[in-house]
């Protein structure tokens, strides 16, 4: 058990809809990372937060947004969903930039 | 776009064989190099985080080396066992503080 909790585990929704993915980091970790894994692709970096502030941004679509709250949990909001957004979304946390990432079990999003 | 490449893409070895994989990354603006092990239906688990040129890390039968000047890292597995079967990922951390993953090397150890 990595200590990182992601909810929900599975999400099925229709095109055009909006969903929110939630992540609770491991106790003591200040950094939260979001990654997307689409079919036959590796882990694509979306965004990183550190202690409530955005620290780094990857190839995150404008339809996607995220935030980290004062209690350090994070939410990834995906709107105007398209079929191509179907993927496994991972959250990971770490103590600092040189520390290993601890991954949650992922949220599998299916857009129909 | 940062280029983090891993080779080979996949590998089949016999139980007891030793093996190694390569991770290539940009040689500029280096901050850290991570290795992860990802078993099917699980989440990636950290193996090593290396930050200094020439770093060598070891965990049981698995070890890793780092050359930041030429931009590569090797992961070695000595005496592979079936339970070593997994995808091994490396991730490059640059000064932009973005951790970019390679596509991984999928290892299958045959009994």
Write the Ramachandran bin of B42: left for phi over 0, alpha for psi from -120 to 50, otherwise beta.
beta
Match 């193996």 to its residue by tokens. Answer: B47
What residues of chain B lie within 8 A of the CB of A33, using their CB? 99
Question: What pLDDT, in 10s, does the model give residues A76-93?
Answer: 999 999 999 999 999 999
- Between positions 65 and 104 of A, the ones with CB within 8 A of B are 90, 97-104
HSE toward the beta carbon, residue B9, CA cutoff 13 A: 3
Q: Do A105 and B43 lie within an 8 Å CB cutoff?
A: yes
Spatial CB neighbours of B77, under 8 Å, sequence gap ≥ 6:
B18, B19, B20, B61, B62, B84, B107
How many separate helices (H) and strands (E) can be counted in chain A?
Answer: 0, 11
- Cα–Cα nearest to B7, from B18, B23, B28: B23
Q: Using CB atoms within 10 A of its CB, is residue A51 exposed (0-12), middle (13-18) or buried (19+)?
A: exposed
Tokens of A87: 């993927």
- Residue B1 has a pLDDT of 63
Flag whether pLDDT at B96 surpasses 80.
no
Q: Which of B43, B49, B104 sits opposite A104 (nearest CB)?
A: B43
pLDDT at A41: 83
d(CA B33, CA B89): 11
Going by their DSSP bridges, the two strands A10-13 and A107-111 should be labelled as parallel
Q: Which residues of B touch A58 (CB under 8 A)?
A: 98, 100
For chain A, give the longest Cα–Cα distance: 39
B103 vs A100: CB contact, 8 Å cut-off? no
pLDDT tens-digit series, residues A40-75: 788 999 999 999 999 989 989 999 999 999 999 999
- Residues on chain A touching B97 (C-beta within 8 angstroms): 48, 55-56, 97
A45 touches B at CB < 8 Å: yes
Q: How much of chain A, in percent, has pLDDT values that exceed 90?
A: 88
Closest-CA distance, A22 to chain B, in angstroms, reads 16
Residues B47-82 pLDDT 10s: 999 999 999 999 999 999 999 999 999 999 999 999
CA–CA dist A90, A58 (Å, integer): 14
């Amino acid at each position: 058990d990595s200590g990182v909790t992601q909810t929900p585990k599975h999400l099925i929704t229709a095109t055009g809809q909006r969903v929110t993915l939630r992540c609770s980091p491991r106790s003591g970790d200040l950094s939260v990372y979001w990654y997307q894994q689409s079919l036959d692709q590796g882990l694509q970096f979306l965004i990183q937060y550190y202690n409530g502030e955005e620290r780094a941004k990857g190839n995150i679509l404008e339809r996607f947004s995220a935030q980290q709250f004062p209690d350090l949990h994070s939410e990834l909001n995906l709107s105007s969903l398209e079929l191509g957004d179907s993927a496994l979304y991972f959250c990971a946390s770490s103590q600092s930039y040189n520390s290993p990432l601890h991954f949650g079990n992922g949220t599998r999003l299916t857009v129909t | 776009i940062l280029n983090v490449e891993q080779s080979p893409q996949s590998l089949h070895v016999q139980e007891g064989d030793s093996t190694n994989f390569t991770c290539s990354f940009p040689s500029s603006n280096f901050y850290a190099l991570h290795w992860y092990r990802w078993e099917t239906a699980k989440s990636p688990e950290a193996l090593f985080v290396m930050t200094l040129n020439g770093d060598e890390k070891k965990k049981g039968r698995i070890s890793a080396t780092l050359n930041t000047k030429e931009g590569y890292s090797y992961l070695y597995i000595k005496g592979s066992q079936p339970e070593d079967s997994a995808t091994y990922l490396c991730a490059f951390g640059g000064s932009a503080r973005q951790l970019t993953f390679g596509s991984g090397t999928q290892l299958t150890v045959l009994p």
